[in-house]
Structure 1
């Protein structure tokens, strides 16, 4: 999970105004892994959005929710703390707010959504379990959450290279570490709280969710041939995990609460 260094900012939105702009610039490049790998996989799992209500939590400048509105989403809402949004087209709402508590974002109270997206944004939540529980309560009866996270092994490998340690040492490390995002903006210091696969799965369970589908998307053969430097990155550090999360049955949740 990434958080801005509290000592480097005057307010919570300042670093994200800088980083969101950097991300969109990186995403615009022809060799962007978001364009080549992540968004196609996310879009495939979302399926047809025609007539659906979609919420993008941590939407950056709102480009993806705008695309979903163009593809037929009946309600298209994006939330981001940066407020660094595109011009809002008709049929799209872009709201300034913290994804840590979506129900507290002005304009979202009492609303329900068929799809709620946390596209590489979930790690910014102050309390992941609470954030997902709130999102689960905002789902329609047949709704689901689409959540993506970087493979935790990637961070362990990078840290092992930096520190001269082993993969196992870094994978199971619990102490936060700071770094600068060279791909977006090196002026902003970020703090990462390490996580493992079991951390992710236990977080989902504690929030009352189960992963109906999980994918680990890769470059297509054509894209790998066109961008061998990106394939080299994936070969060395792996990529992302995409989870389609469904609410657990109410009876199961009640039984678990009774046990505790």
Structure 2
């Protein structure tokens, strides 16, 4: 089943254009998503048998479809591009903005055991609001799995491009234009820079605590097989993964109130 709430705005058109290249890059044998990111994400998710899963910014939906194949009982994928694979049994796709998941069609009152923001969270209009909404949709034992590119990576890239220093770019606050040659070099994305403190403060403002943080790397065997990918990680550091849970409530209040 597929629903659509996307309008004809720039964001929808941009991601529709990028989605094909993104999925092609992710499917390559030497894709860091295939070699590092998805295996680490899958380990953090644990056994999904019988669980309800929401993938916010799911791309074509292949990952959430795999989780359904592995036993997840109710899977929903949301993406603004709308370029989804044919939904297998137990999977529903919604074309829409992940900035407020609660307003999407059919989402009122839904609860999920896992909410995923896999390299998609940075495109939320209001990051704190997006996380608060996602947290409100969790079951009592549920958690959010959020992954983001190590912010130092962007700082290194911009320092190289601009002839500036690492510190200058790491603490920069102005949005910057970014072209992802591995996806579609003809499309330019506008990205907001962020630091580690920005991420941690966002989680705190959304009343979430970090249960686990992972910075996955290539195994020695895979690094030897794909030395060019190991060189990328050695220079740019890779990705951060966070397992986030809502702060517990005491008598209707958060414990830190």
Tell whether the structures are fold-level matches, with TM greater than 0.5.
Answer: yes
- The answer as to whether partners of 2:48 and 2:67 remain within 8 angstroms in 1 is yes
* 1:191 match: secondary structure: strand
* 2:11 match: secondary structure: coil
- The answer as to whether partners of 1:45 and 1:244 remain within 8 angstroms in 2 is yes
Matched with 1:80 is 79
Matched with 1:165 is 164
- The answer as to whether partners of 2:52 and 2:112 remain within 8 angstroms in 1 is yes
Deviation readout 1:144-181 (Å, 9 max, x if unpaired): 00000000000000111111111111101101111211
Q: How much is the aligned-residue C-alpha RMSD, in angstroms?
A: 1.3
C-alpha separation in 2, matches of 1:255 and 1:149: 27
* 1:131 match: secondary structure: helix
* 2:210 match: secondary structure: strand
C-alpha separation in 2, matches of 1:126 and 1:21: 23
Matched with 1:188 is 187
Matched with 2:221 is 222
C-alpha separation in 2, matches of 1:109 and 1:222: 46
Matched with 2:29 is 30
**Deviation of the 1:11 alpha carbon:** 3.9
Matched ranges for 1:114-133 at <5 A: 114-133=113-132
Determine whether 1:16 maps to 2:15.
yes
C-alpha separation in 2, matches of 1:109 and 1:10: 24
C-alpha separation in 2, matches of 1:190 and 1:225: 33
Matched with 2:70 is 71
Matched with 1:146 is 145
**Deviation of the 1:12 alpha carbon:** 2.9
C-alpha separation in 1, matches of 2:149 and 2:206: 20
Matched with 2:3 is none
Aligned length: 249
TM-score when scaled to structure 1? Answer: 0.93
TM-score when scaled to structure 2? Answer: 0.94
* 1:17 match: secondary structure: helix
**Deviation of the 1:254 alpha carbon:** 4.2
C-alpha separation in 2, matches of 1:157 and 1:26: 22
* 1:108 match: secondary structure: coil
The 3 A distance-change label for structure 1 pair 93 and 253 is: same
Deviates most, 207-216 or 245-254: 245-254
- The answer as to whether partners of 1:97 and 1:106 remain within 8 angstroms in 2 is no
Matched with 2:41 is 42
Q: Which runs of 5+ in 1 are unaligned?
A: 1-8
